[in-house]
Amino acid sequence: MAAFKTLDDLGDVTGKVALVRVDLNLPMKGGSATDVTRVEAVKPTILELSKKGAKVLLLAHFGRPGGQRSSVLSTSMVTGDVEGVLGKELMFIPEVAGPVVEQSIGILRNGDIGLLDNTRFWPGEEANDPNFAQAIAAHGDFFVNDAFSAAHRAHATTEGITHFLPSYAGRAMEAELKALDAALGNPEAPVAAVVGGAKVSTKLAVLENLVGRVQHLIIGGGMANTFLAARGVNVGKSLCEHDLTDQASKIMDTADHAGCTVHLPYDVVVSKEFAANPASLRTCNVHEVAEDEMILDIGASAAEALADVLKTCRTLVWNGPLGAFETEPFDAATMSLARHVAALTQEGSLISVAGGGDTVAALAQAGVTGDVTYISTAGGAFLEWMEGKELPGVAALTANNG
């Protein structure tokens, strides 16, 4: 991984203006946030800069206003939630550049924190307009990016601004990049990847990248059915993208040539209806699925075999559940594997990096959130990283780091 600078590389910042890109795109209900995980993630960076005497200006987007001002999409909506997490008062600044920002900086004392308005109110943000980026940069002495979840977008406040200011990774960004490097950039082999979820179509690029980089590829969720169908298994009424079986076969051939073992379930949990604890529930061999049954989870024997595979591995990257985990009892395999992963991580034999909304939810459901090495809350950025793509916001930090 190319070098990037962190807060450790900053000299004395007393009285200097830090422009800090954060992710405050919080889920809201009735005017307040239902989940403040994203604020918790950036809290260490904000408070560290504040404690060192910088004037901290937060840059964030909120929703998709499409380059137009909208009172309900102003970042002022989250001011109270952010203050609650930081334990500090914020000054809300209804602009991102210009005289209002200049005046506000004059009012802020060293260590104070200001929140600028939604960067996406201006078309220049998503267009990555250099003039817009320069106008924002004019107010700062240095730039800190602590929003990995927005790093796959080449926007003015993730990529453009780095051309005008010395740029650093915040603490959350630094932790994310180090974890991702340990998982796929420069991992300890053997490496396993668990890729689950409903559809192969959304993860084709991920699978194509992984087969050349990992020794074990474990496929679960609805997408496993497409791979089983590609191997000639009759999957009954299961969710399956029959039009993608050729691509699934190609991925398995590529894996073969690359020395990567693809693991598909050999026993599965099936039912005639998708409902909690249905009467028609049974576990069978994959070759015994009836025409009117659907595969909704992998069986206990297959889950145990996967746990044995992980015992031989040093590194795991996980994206997507093994079954329809939101509905009992189709969460059994995902829960069981999550607990095995947690145990192996805790005993020091496995580095485990997980990401994506469903995966984060599944680990929380299994009660092992704190027991894996690293959990990425970034959705799109995590997937693009798994696809092997260069993320503009990350590339900019390594290219323009002061």
DSSP conformation letters of 36-79: -HHHHHHHHHHHHHHHTTPEEEEE---S--TTS--GGG-GGGGH
Percent of the chain with pLDDT over 70: 99
d(CA 310, CA 332): 17
Catalytic residue list: 38, 199, 357, 380
Query: Residue 305 is encoded by which pair of tokens?
Result: 């075999």
Statement: the pTM of the whole predicted model exceeds 0.75: yes
Report DSSP state, residue 321. Answer: -
Residue 400 has pLDDT above 90, yes or no: no
Model pLDDT, residue 2? 62
Measured at the alpha carbon of residue 241, what is the angle toward residues 293 and 274, in degrees to the nearest 5? Answer: 30
d(CA 65, CA 96): 15
Average pLDDT, rounded, for the chain: 94
Torsions phi, psi of 315, nearest 5? Answer: -135, 140
Predicted confidence (pLDDT) per residue in 274-308, tens digit:
999 999 999 999 999 999 999 999 999 999 999 99
Helices (H), 22-169: 37-51, 79-86, 99-107, 123-126, 130-137
Predicted confidence (pLDDT) per residue in 162-182, tens digit:
999 999 999 999 999 999 888
| Weakest mean pLDDT among 101-115, 259-273, 345-359, 387-401 | 387-401
Model pLDDT, residue 401? 55
The label of the residue with tokens 């817009």 reads 132
Query: Residue 279 is encoded by which pair of tokens?
Result: 């009467």
- Residues 6 and 398 sit within 8 Å (Cβ to Cβ): no
